[in-house]
Amino acid sequence: MGKMWRMFVMALMLAAAVAPGRAAGAAEAANPLAVNVIVVFQQQIDEQAVESLRGRVIKRFDVLPAVAASVPVSAVELLRRWPGVDYVQQDTTVAIDSQAANWGVAETKATVMHTRGVTGKGVKIAILDTGVDLRHPDLSVAGGACLLSYCPNSYQDDNGHGTHVAGIIAAKDNNIGSVGVAPGASVYALKVLDRYGEGNVSTILAGIEWAIKHRMDIINLSLAAPEDAPVLKEAVEKAYKSGIFVVAAAGNNGHANGAGDTVEYPAKYDSVVAVAAVNQDHVRVPYSATGPAVEMAAPGEGIYSTVPVSLDPDGRGDGYTHMSGTSMAAPFVSGVLALYKQQYPERTNAQLRQMLRDRALDLGAPGKDPWYGYGLVQAMPNTPPDLEVKLLSANRGEVSFSVTPSGSEVKGYRVYRNGTLIEPLQTAAIYKDYVVKGTYRYAFSSVHRDGTESEPIGFMEVVVSDPYYKDLSVHSWYMPEIVYLSSQGIVSGYRDGTIRPYATITRAEAAVMLGRALHLDGTKRETVFRDVHSADFASGYIQSAYERGLISGYPDGTFRPQQPITRAETAIVLSRAYDLPDGAPVAFRDVTPNVTGHDAIAKLAAARIADGYPNGTFRPYQFVKRLEFFVFAARASNERFR
């Protein structure tokens, strides 16, 4: 190759102002490896769930089956899946380091995509750099390799640059530190630069080769050198032709006046997306390289991201700091490409590269220019909403909107509540949501026939005064169904203000709920069953349901009103009540022609009212919890919930 060509990492210019450390709180020390959470249980508090994951219970609550606890960051997801746990959320009232906003993530509109479930999941990104900190709680490294001649700690980062780049791309959305552009992407650490940030052509080539062999989707190169190397050009072209995106920093040797062609290599090659850096005002930073090869601009000044705790340069020792440079800009583009790739997996890298250009927010001179390229990278198109949305009412938990498309290319709309996607595609002229007491912020976006989505509009704040149940949260997956039934007068809570979703439901309670839904006569009266008396609260509905042929008793003349109802009995009652059509035989392992109600179970499954379990069973003789009956009843009476 002739002379050895050394490659240096882009300048790691730290922001001058570092946020001061938070004063130590009386409750907890600032521990980056632990987080304070509130754990809400389904029925009763289980402190052992927290303690078995090396957590500590700080406080028990009486109103809800919940505890405040300090748990290891690594245990949060395990705790969320723990049997008996309803949900886990961050305890925002405790003085801990919360997840900081990386201004660049918002500027690229990546945060909007996260609310829509687009996080880069399933996309593989190779980071050719100084390695990545394998122990950082805000990062998850899927794999990698050290391609230097001396690797005492494999691909562990001993410089800090690679970890900062990795955090910009894929820091977890876990309520600590920062969040990346594509927190669901799989990152692979390829250590091609040593502790001083230096490498040579051979290590870069080895990294590109590794990425090709292991079928990476994206290669991020936050590195540059002033000299051309034909063999490197050949390698990146081979990667691009194999379907891989190659993204590189344009370089930090630009002139303050933006004159001249200062883009460095490998960013200067046609097969590489060269990325320039801008500040929060969308203005080129003075040192960012310029020239015709610049393709995109991205945030690159004062970027907050991850670093190894042992190498944290700002004195806080929390594993996060600010850095600046085109090294920081390139991973924003890599992250956005990961979001594209998840959304459009069938499209080629050339097609998605064109999408990158089409969606860019034009900066500087109109069109492509040598300072900003096509403009600031954007995770979503700059498309007008083409919708007219009006709030119609908010009564008894039912929030109603009128939604009118104004463009012929609109095929539907999406609905967001408090920043979370709750309706992926809806076409109804009237949209209804069902929520418990609280204040909510709604937004709508239009979905066009080509699959693109507009900017959200609306952002209407809605105050809902009722219903309120002590044990029903907006975070509960079954909340809308219960509120819907409550708004229709079908269900009500107990005198103590609870709804008791995890208690079993009796045959009498099921009859009352069904009777209210079908507007049957609930007047208390004598019944045909010897164990249901005229004074019983459910007597009228039980007799009316019997007269309609919806329910029957036992051969001994009893109804057994206080006995829990089974899943098979529920299927029979609902299939009769709503006159469901015959369904194709459903392959539940435990539902045979010998099972009473097998035909009704098939009807409910075909109508998408009741589902089986992941192991292929239906469990026809299992008692039904109140929340299950609520969900089944809501689905049966309103197709919106199916």
CA 626 to CA 510: how far, in whole Å? Answer: 9
Q: What tokens does 514 get?
A: 């069904």
Three-state secondary structure of 422-444:
EEEEECCCEEEEECCCEEEEEEE
Beta bridge partners of 410: 448
| 393 DSSP β-pair partners | 400
Residues 288 and 326 sit within 8 Å (Cβ to Cβ): yes
Residues in the chain, total: 642
From start to end of 291-397, where are the E strands? 294-299, 303-306, 320-323, 387-395
The single residue of 327, 445, 446, 637 carrying the catalytic annotation is 327
Rounded Cα–Cα distance for residues 458 and 442 (Å): 7
Candidate list 46, 114, 138, 161, residue with the active-site label: 161
Is the torsion defined by CA of 476, 481, 485, 487 positive or negative? positive
Q: How far apart are CA 588 and CA 259, in angstroms?
A: 71
C-alpha 523, offset from chain centre: 48
Where do we find the tokens 């820091």?
171
> Are 535 and 594 a contacting pair, CB within 8 Å?
no
C-alpha count within 13 angstroms, C-beta hemisphere, residue 315: 7
Residue 147 one-letter amino acid? L
| Residue 249 token pair | 């920093």
3-class SS of residue 605: helix
The neighbouring-strand residues paired with 444 are: 415, 457
Say if strands 6-9 and 223-224 run parallel, antiparallel, or are unpaired: antiparallel
DSSP string computed for 535-583:
TSTTHHHHHHHHHTTS----TTS---TTSBPBHHHHHHHHHHHTTPPP-
| Cβ contact 297:276 at 8 Å | yes
* Residues 477, 627 contacting (CB under 8 angstroms): no
* Active-site residue, from 129, 133, 217, 318: 129
3-state SS class at 273: strand
Q: Please tell me the distance from the alpha carbon of residue 524 to that of residue 532, in angstroms, as a whole number.
A: 10
Q: In what order do the strands lie in the sheet with 34-41?
A: 56-60, 66-72, 34-41, 85-90
**Residue 614 — left, alpha, or beta (φ > 0 → left; ψ -120 to 50 → alpha)?**
alpha
How many Cα neighbours within 13 Å face the side chain of 107? 24
Q: 129 an active-site residue?
A: yes
In DSSP terms, 567 is beta-bridged to none
Name which of 391, 395, 461, 465 is nearest 431 in CA terms: 391
Among all residues, which ones are annotated catalytic? 129, 161, 327
